[in-house]
Amino acid sequence: MVKEKPPYSTNILHEQFSQLLENLGIGVFTVNRERQITSFNETVERLTGFREEEVLGKKCHEIFFSDLCHGRCMYPQEVELEGKPHVFEMDISDQEGNLHRITKLVSPLLGSEGQVTGCIEVFQDFSVYNQLLDRIRYDEHRLKLILDNLDIGIFTVNRGGHITSFNSMAEKITGYQRQEIVGQHHAKLTGCDRPGETCSLKESISTGKSLANLHRRLFTKDGRNLPIRASFMALRNEAGNTIGGLETFQDLSLIQQLNRAISNKYSFADMIGKDGVMQQIFEILPVVAESEANVLVEGPTGTGKDLLAKIIHNASQRGEKPFVKVNCAALPDNLLESEMFGYVKGAFTGADRDKPGRFQEADGGSIFLDEIGDLPLSLQAKLLRVLEDKEFYPLGGRELCRVDVRIIAATNQVLEDLVREKRFREDLFYRLNVMQLELPPLKERRGDIPLLISNFIKKHNVTKGSAVSRIDEDAMDILLNYHYPGNIRELENIIEHAGVLCQGELIERRHLPMYIQEITDHRGVDRIARAEVTTRRDQREREVIVEVLKKNRWQRQKAAQALGMDRTTLWRKMKKYDISP
């Protein structure tokens, strides 16, 4: 004899799926056609103050019509009539008076013949993103609908590790459309097939244990390496057999950007670029940072010299000590000496107290001398003594001041030319030029432009509260062909300008600054600008390729990996530049 089920305790969600929602802080309740409550999970209990046993069998509008539904019943007016889901945001207060910002999803429940049999309401509480436990089937339309409206990325795999489902947020975070990625091995995203990488999803599938809140990396379609917080679980069928796995993930890159902005801490990950020259810089940065050698950073204005200096300092043994910046071009000559080296009381009219200079402030840490090429000759000799002896006299002082500082200098000029012109001391140049790093202009690394655009869009969304998610082909074509005299700084300003005007998700040509639209209407201007750098760029690229090939004993596979390109691209460039062992 089949035992009859209780009339109102039947839960249309699988027990496993119900546990998933509970651990994500997602409230769910269901009603039948008569609007009688048939299920009521713990999260809804917490948000409303009602217990499940109190409300089962009662009509929903009798319980919380004026609160949770905000005075409007969605069931007869929209769900039953239209037969489609509705998603919107709202604020509610829990039983303790705490305000919660939630997303509410109202969806019809359909019978075997497509008729409306009831309604399901889902509440995603943005104040909670707890660990994901237990398992879930992803083979029902209503479950896919719910998962597609969560603000976390979710994908499932079979036992072989091939992706079987991919929700909307996963598409947004990774840049892959589900039709592009379904059927591919998850290593394309997780990089777990790389040496030294841990495959937490495989571990979860093999052991049957859930792994929660782990910090991992994820590789996007445009080549970015995103930091994520991920959870993993095995998926089982009704017989209890493991049939695959599930991973959820949250993009932590924006959170990390905000934290770094607050703490002014930067790491190698802040430098973006897959261009061969940039990859070469990334390769030697750890060695440069760990050394105590002085560093000279050269490159045009706006290429990121300031950021590179901060990265070098923070990655060095002096990272916890002061980082002090002096812009040698921004201060008048008569103030520069007192600003850099300080002064004593009575050194000049108005000097009513001793004042330490930037070098004293940087003691134990690093001092960044930006635009060093503009330093007056009169101060270059004093700076040379600091480099040689780590000591100097403050302005008007008679007692030597000793400091322990590392000097990182930067310039947008060619210091060797200034030396030949007798505008920069040769001995100072060689003291500064122990380790030299040259940042190329943006027009010589156009392959990095899409990566930079994506990063600036995300940064703008966080700082300005925008919702920009992509850029159309016409606008992208303009940005790829512009010559960027202001380099990366100019590109960031362009994206911020476009983001302000966009007021939506898609940046179009009309949102770009007018001067760029006007210039790129005459493509000949850009063609001339590009032609001027082609020879110099090719020569530099050939030198880099030869150097990397020699370093890797002419093994193309290793050299291609070091250059950030595939083997066929390297072979094509070797043929183009007539490179051979």
Give the pairing of strands 435-438 and 295-298: parallel
Say what the pLDDT of residue 318 is: 92
Helix (H) or strand (E) holding 535: helix 523-551
Among 4-18, 247-261, 368-382, the minimum mean pLDDT is found in: 4-18
- Tokens encoding 124: 């995603």
Among 16-20, 293-297, 328-332, 406-410, the minimum mean pLDDT is found in: 16-20
Say what the pLDDT of residue 68 is: 53
Which has more confidence, 262 or 506? 506
Assign 446 to helix, strand or coil: helix
Give the pairing of strands 225-236 and 242-251: antiparallel
Using pLDDT thresholds of 50, 70 and 90, give the confidence band for residue 139: very low
Nearest to 97 by CA among 29, 153, 167, 48: 48
Q: Please tell me the distance from the alpha carbon of residue 134 to that of residue 14, in angstroms, as a whole number.
A: 11
Give the pairing of strands 86-93 and 99-110: antiparallel
Region 133-143: what's the mean pLDDT?
40
Region 243-272: what's the mean pLDDT?
69
Q: Please tell me the distance from the alpha carbon of residue 95 to that of residue 485, in angstroms, as a whole number.
A: 58
What's the pLDDT tens digit per position in 263-310? 555 556 567 777 778 888 888 888 999 988 999 999 998 999 999 999
Which has more confidence, 32 or 82? 32
Nearest to 272 by CA among 320, 230, 198, 220: 220
Among 186-190, 254-258, 378-382, the minimum mean pLDDT is found in: 254-258
Q: Which stretch, 203-212, 347-356, 422-431, 561-570, has highest mean pLDDT?
A: 422-431
Helices (H), 368-440: 377-389, 415-420, 426-432
Q: Does domain 15-125 have CATH number 1.10.10.10?
A: no
Give the CATH number of domain 269-438.
Answer: 3.40.50.300
What's the pLDDT tens digit per position in 397-453? 888 899 999 999 999 988 988 999 999 999 999 999 999 999 999 988 888 888 888
Half-sphere exposure of 490 (CA within 13 A, CB side): 17
- Average of per-residue pLDDT values in the chain: 78
Region 246-260: what's the mean pLDDT?
72
Residue 542 pLDDT > 80 = yes
Q: Please tell me the distance from the alpha carbon of residue 554 to that of residue 161, in angstroms, as a whole number.
A: 35
Assign 107 to helix, strand or coil: strand
Q: Please tell me the distance from the alpha carbon of residue 17 to that of residue 504, in angstroms, as a whole number.
A: 34
Q: What percent of the chain has pLDDT over 90?
A: 17
3-state DSSP of 85-139:
CEEEEEEEECCCCCEEEEEEEEEEEECCCCCEEEEEEEEEECCCCCCCCCCCCCC
Q: Please tell me the distance from the alpha carbon of residue 342 to that of residue 331, in angstroms, as a whole number.
A: 14
What's phi and psi for 27, nearest 5 deg?
-85, 140
Using pLDDT thresholds of 50, 70 and 90, give the confidence band for residue 572: confident
Q: Does domain 442-521 have CATH number 2.40.128.110?
A: no
Using pLDDT thresholds of 50, 70 and 90, give the confidence band for residue 32: confident
Which has more confidence, 455 or 380? 380
Give the pairing of strands 366-370 and 470-471: unpaired
Strand order in the sheet with 435-438: 323-327, 366-370, 406-411, 295-298, 435-438
Say what the pLDDT of residue 256 is: 62
Say what the pLDDT of residue 325 is: 92
Residues sharing a CB contact under 8 Å with residue 396, sequence separation 6 or more, in sequence order: 343, 344, 346, 347, 348, 351
Domain with CATH 3.30.450.20 in the chain: 15-125, 141-251
Residues sharing a CB contact under 8 Å with residue 503, sequence separation 6 or more, in sequence order: none
Domain with CATH 3.40.50.300 in the chain: 269-438
Residue 328 pLDDT > 90 = no
Q: Please tell me the distance from the alpha carbon of residue 122 to that of residue 321, in angstroms, as a whole number.
A: 50
For 105, other C-beta atoms within 10 Å of its C-beta total 21
Give first-to-last CA distance, the chain, whole Å. Answer: 83
What residues pair up with 246 in beta bridges, in sequence order?
Answer: 156, 233
Using pLDDT thresholds of 50, 70 and 90, give the confidence band for residue 45: confident
Domain with CATH 1.10.8.60 in the chain: 442-521
What's the whole-model pTM score?
0.52
Q: Please tell me the distance from the alpha carbon of residue 89 to that of residue 105, in angstroms, as a whole number.
A: 9
What's the pLDDT tens digit per position in 228-239? 888 898 888 777
Region 460-486: what's the mean pLDDT?
83
Region 181-191: what's the mean pLDDT?
89
Say what the pLDDT of residue 11 is: 40
Say what the pLDDT of residue 365 is: 94
Say what the pLDDT of residue 274 is: 76
- Tokens encoding 285: 């940065």
As its CATH architecture, domain 141-251 has 2-Layer Sandwich (3.30)
What's the pLDDT tens digit per position in 64-110? 644 455 545 666 655 555 556 666 666 665 555 555 556 677 777 77
